[in-house]
Amino acid sequence: MKRISILFVCMGNICRSPLAEGVFSHLAKEAGHADRFLVDSAGTGSWHQGDEPDRRSIATARHHGMDISGQRARRIRKHDFADFDLIVAMDRDNVAALRALDPQARNIHLFGDLALGSGEDIPDPYYGGADGFEAVYARLLAGCRKLLSMLGDDSASRSGNTSSVR
């Protein structure tokens, strides 16, 4: 069975996308589907390459029973567009930056569209306090639950065909 690969993307890869990676991985593991997914995160910028997630993202994840402190920020690479089935951006600016890097990519999605069905941006909590990180966590949790349900229960994804989500 082909694993479904998902890359969560935000601007610096220290707040939203590492939290999304942690939430989705945690939910997949709890559901007994961890072996069905390859999950990673990246940023559109390179400011934080090699850094661990923001201390507030780490604290939020820890508060909810997850440890994301081992993750390290990285910038999206050209081959990511071919290597990942889904590239899930946290906001429209991230989508635009990704499309500028690979205008032909058909696997770029806004988290708010794909996972939440609302079209909303996941706001960047970087310049705020812990409450902003909790609000982001709540949206990511809701979306990752829906995404896992869609991908984990879909008969096409079980056969390795993820064209229905591209």
Catalytic residue numbers, as ranges = 10, 16, 124
Nearest alpha carbon to residue 56 among 68, 73, 45, 65: 68
Map tokens 């995404």 to a residue: 147
Query: Which H or E run includes 62?
Result: helix 55-63
**Longest pairwise C-alpha distance within the chain:** 43
Question: b vs e for 89-114, b when ≥16 Cβ sit within 10 Å of the residue's Cβ?
Answer: bbbeebbebbeeebeeeebbbbbbbb
Map tokens 């990676």 to a residue: 21
Burial class (CB in 10 A: 0-12, 13-18, 19+), 50: exposed
Query: For residue 51, what is the DSSP state?
Result: P
